[in-house]
Amino acid sequence: MGKVRLDCAVCGEGWLVERWKLGRSLSCPHCGSTYQRAEVVSTLGPAGVSPAHASNAGSDSLPPNDLDFPEAEVSPAGGLPATVIIGLALLPYGVPIFWFLGPILTGTVPPVSIATPLALAVSTSILCLSVIYTVDWSAETRLKGVFILILLSYFGGITLFFTEKATLERLYRLGKKTEWQEFQPDKGPVYRLKVPASPEEIVDQPLKLAEMHCYQVRVPQDLLGWQIYVMGAGTPKPHPEVPGTPGWFEAAQKTLLEDGQKILKRHFQANNGFLKGYEWEIELVDTGRMRVILVYVGQGKVYYLAVEGERIDAQHPDVLRFFRSFFIPQQP
C-alpha cells in the first residue's frame, strides 16, 4: 500500500501516512493537532499534500526525499514531553501541601483531615492524565482541559480549607431524613421527650432562675440555617417569688429579655397536669430568628424547653411535636 505526504495546517510540518489510514482520524506527530476524515481528505489537494508528490498519491513508490519525513503515528500524549506530563500530573498535590502548611501560615484549623485533599489530588491527577492521553483532542485542547482541572482542584481545596465545620455538618444533615427519637437525660431530674437528632450536653444556663443540666440538638432548617432545640431540667435558685407562681414566671420573663436584643411577641400560660407552665415567643433582633420557650415548674423542679429557627412560632409543627412529646415518667 502506498504512502502520501501530509503537511500540518497548524505547525506546517510534514509527515508520511499510509493511504489506508486516510479514512481515519489522524494526529500530527509534531504538534498533536487532530484531523477528522473530512479534514484529511480535504488536505489531499494543493493545501495539504506537497505539490511535488500529489501526482504520486496513487503510486506505491516514494520519491527519495520523502524518506526524511516520519511515518504518521498517533502520539498518545499529543507530542508533550514526559517531563511536562509528570509536572502537570503533580500540580494538584499542592492542595494537600497547603492543607499541611495552612494551619501554620493562617492559624486556621481545617474542618476535615488531610485525607480529603489527598484524595482530591489523586483523583485530579488521574483525570489530568486521562485528558492528556485523549487522542482525539488537539494538544491545545488537552492543555486547556488539564489547567481547568487543576484550577478547580485548588479552588475546591482552598474553599474547603476555610469552610467552617458547622457548615459541612449542615450540608451533610440537609440531605438526610429527620428521624425523631426518644431522649431521656442521664443527669438531673428525669423526663422524656422526642428530638430530631442525638442531643449534646451544653454548659449554658438559658434560665437564670434555675440551676439545670442542659442539652442541645441542631438540625439544618435550610441550606444556610439551623433549627436549634434546647432542653434542660434542674432545681430553682432562691428567689423572693415562689417557683410556679405568676410573679415567678414574670421574673423569668425579665431574665429571658434582659439583654435588650429580644422582642416579646406573645406569651401565655401553658399548664400541663400538675406542672405549672408558661410559653413565650421571642424575636431575636440581631438575627431576625424566632425562639419559642416553654418553662414548666412542678414538684420542686424546673424544666426548660426551647426551639429557635427561621419563620417559626408556637404553632409550628416541629415546635408542637417537641413540646407535646415531653412527659415525666413515674418513678418506681
Q: Which domains does the chain have, with CATH numbers?
A: 3-68 (no CATH), 82-163 (no CATH), 177-324 (3.40.1000.10)
Cα separation, 259 vs 264, in Å, equals 12
With CA atoms as reference, report the closest residue to 147 among 91, 76, 75.
91
3-state SS of 174-235 is HCCCCCCEEECCCCCCCCEEEECCCCEEECCCCCCCEEEEEEEEEEECCCCCEEEEEEEEEE
With CA atoms as reference, report the closest residue to 308 among 283, 271, 286, 325.
283
Does residue 75 carry a pLDDT above 80? no
C-alpha cell read off for 151:
484550577
Q: pTM here? A: 0.56
Q: Which carries the bigger pLDDT value, residue 141 or residue 277?
A: 277
CB 79 within 8 A of CB 30: yes
Low-confidence winner among 14-23, 65-74, 203-212 (lowest mean pLDDT)? 65-74
Low-confidence winner among 106-110, 230-234, 244-248, 323-327 (lowest mean pLDDT)? 106-110
pLDDT in tens, 26-61: 777 777 777 665 344 444 443 344 333 333 434 444
pLDDT in tens, 132-166: 877 677 777 888 888 999 999 999 999 888 887 76
Q: How far apart are the first and last CA of the chain?
A: 100
